[in-house]
Amino acid sequence: MESLQELYRIGPGPSSSHTLAPQRACQLYMEHYPNAIYFDVMLFGSLALTGVGHATDEIIRKTFAPRMCTICFKEKHKAAFPNGLRIRGYNIDGSLESEWTVFSLGGGSIEVAEEDLHLHDEIYPHDHMNQILDYCQEYKISLADYPMRYEPEIVKHLGSVLNQMLKTVSSGLAASGVLPGSLKLPRVAKGLFLQANLIEEGADRTKILLSSYAYAACEENADGKSCVAAPTMGASGIMAALVYHYYHDVGLSRAKLIKGLALAGLFGNVVKKNATISGAVGGCQAEVGTACAMGSAMIAYFNGLNNRLIAYAAEIGMEHHLGLTCDPVGGYVMIPCIERNAVATLRAIDSALLAQHVGALKNNRVSFDDVVRTMRYTGMKLPLELRETSLGGLATEIALTQQTELVDEPETHNLDDYMTSAELFKNLDFDQTEADEIDNKLNIKF
């Protein structure tokens, strides 16, 4: 399997496959052909069908700027892979420098058909979770320790991932206004967070807090702000919400959170290697389903479960997202994506809880590898209309011209009577320098 750096990627939203991947492709092309002064880009498949809503054309122009480029959209293409772009660069005399056909594999990963750029070098010797579990049992180590056997330098990257997740949620909780695009969707994370603080301590309060964190991260992503693909931008709210919760509400250390991210990344990597994390290939089960599995495993680890039960939690998280379609309204990563992240965040909590208690009574018949193979098969059976093309499902049922209306707050929920926003948000500030200093002092060992 590849490095966890290829799974957790930091960059601009709203879509890892539609913004991160094209951005990376354009950057690599310019690095290889610095003499090119003009570019012609053709988007095909899902990139063409939902590229405008996902800001694909915008990120391509920004990446090539100040050099000129033209962009065209072609729904059908001879390539077998359903998501990609063709880049042609031209010299000052008008001659063609080179042509690249680039496939967006999901999560920001790309593959160039014409050249081997060694973008997918293998780091880990095991490709399946059962193999990893057997290895951990043989050497008597935790799943969280496994990545350090082969990629000890990943700690620094995961520290940056943690920082960005915390910063993204914090920024999203403090933001207000309307998200860009024709849906005119209002941000609600801040209001949801304020509502949660009106609820007495208990399960309901925790659930609404978690939901507000997921909304916050997803609304930042939809606004094109910097986020972490975990494993994709469309599912970025789940891991970010859980990390934020366990850091701010539970009080786990940065070292523990970084180990949790490493462990969760193993499950995401297994899915990426043996199935797909691309909504254009496997539907939303590949994105939100994988993120829920990752989050479920991380929570199980935080709860002190053993390796077998951690894998069971991840299996539950994935299994009950099988068949989930990717049908974004208007091609935007908003409806149903934002709300779906909140639901999956709560489902991750439940999956870890079920694994803990059901797993104490019996061994699970379905392994994580089983459910990954099933997800791959199911994704292949999903029609094109339900794989990030906006040609079916919710995308064809919801009117783009109808503006979402905000509900007036009832008098009994006058938030200003309880506490001011400044008081509530005073603990949400994120200090990058302070975080780096903490990581250096920790000198995290696995």
Calculate the CA 68 to chain-centre distance: 31
- Evaluate whether 294 touches 239 at the Cβ level (below 8 Å): yes
In angstroms, the CA 83 to CA 309 distance is: 36
DSSP code at position 387:
B
* Residues 299 and 246 placed together within one structural domain of the fold: yes
Is 403 a member of any domain? yes
258 and 309 in a single domain? The answer is: yes
Span 354-398, pLDDT tens digits: 999 999 999 999 999 999 999 999 999 999 999 999 999 999 998
CATH number of the domain at 180, please: 1.10.4100
In a domain, 437, yes or no: no
Number of domains in the chain: 2
- What pLDDT is recorded for position 425? 44
Q: Three-state DSSP class for 180?
A: coil
Query: Minimum mean pLDDT among 98-112, 160-174, 361-375: which range?
Result: 98-112
Quick one: 43 and 138 in the same domain?
no
Q: What is the pLDDT of residue 422?
A: 39
Report which of 45, 111, 442, 92 is spatially closest to residue 280, judged by C-alpha positions: 45
- As a whole number, mean pLDDT of residues 315-319 equals 99
Q: Is 274 exposed, middle or buried (0-12, 13-18, 19+ CB in 10 A)?
A: middle
Global pTM reads 0.88
The pLDDT value recorded for residue 51 is 86
Mean pLDDT across 205-220: 99
Q: What confidence category does residue 117 fall into, taking pLDDT thresholds of 50, 70 and 90?
A: confident
**Confidence label for 52 from pLDDT (cuts 50, 70 and 90):** confident
Query: Do 80 and 171 belong to one domain?
Result: no
Considering the domain architecture, whether residues 104 and 135 belong to the same structural domain is answered as no
Question: For residue 87, what are the contacts with CB-CB under 8 A and spacing of at least 6?
Answer: 25, 26, 29, 39, 40, 41, 99, 100, 102
- Mean pLDDT across the chain: 90
Q: Residue 314 domain-assigned?
A: yes
Task: Please check the confidence at residue 78 and state whether its pLDDT lies above 90.
Answer: no
Q: Could you tell me if 102 and 27 lie in one domain?
A: yes
pLDDT at 83: 84
Provide the percentage of residues in the chain whose pLDDT is more than 70: 88
Q: Same domain for 159 and 281?
A: yes
In a domain, 381, yes or no: yes
Contact 253, 267 (CB under 8 A): no
Q: Is residue 340 part of a domain?
A: yes
Q: Return left, alpha or beta for 357; rule: phi > 0 is left, psi -120 to 50 is alpha, else beta.
A: alpha
Measure the CA–CA gap between 166 and 201, rounded to whole angstroms: 23
CATH number of the domain that residue 37 is part of? 3.30.1330.90
**Domain shared by 45 and 163, yes or no:** no
Q: Count Cα neighbours of 423 within 13 Å in the Cβ-side half-sphere.
A: 8
- 345 within a domain of the structure (yes/no): yes
| 443 domain residue, yes or no | no
Is 431 a member of any domain? no
Same domain assignment for residues 213 and 178: yes
Last residue of a domain, one of 87, 112, 137: 112
Domain range for 93 is 12-112
Note whether 146 and 202 are same-domain residues.
yes
319 and 391 part of one domain: yes
Same domain, 332 and 297: yes
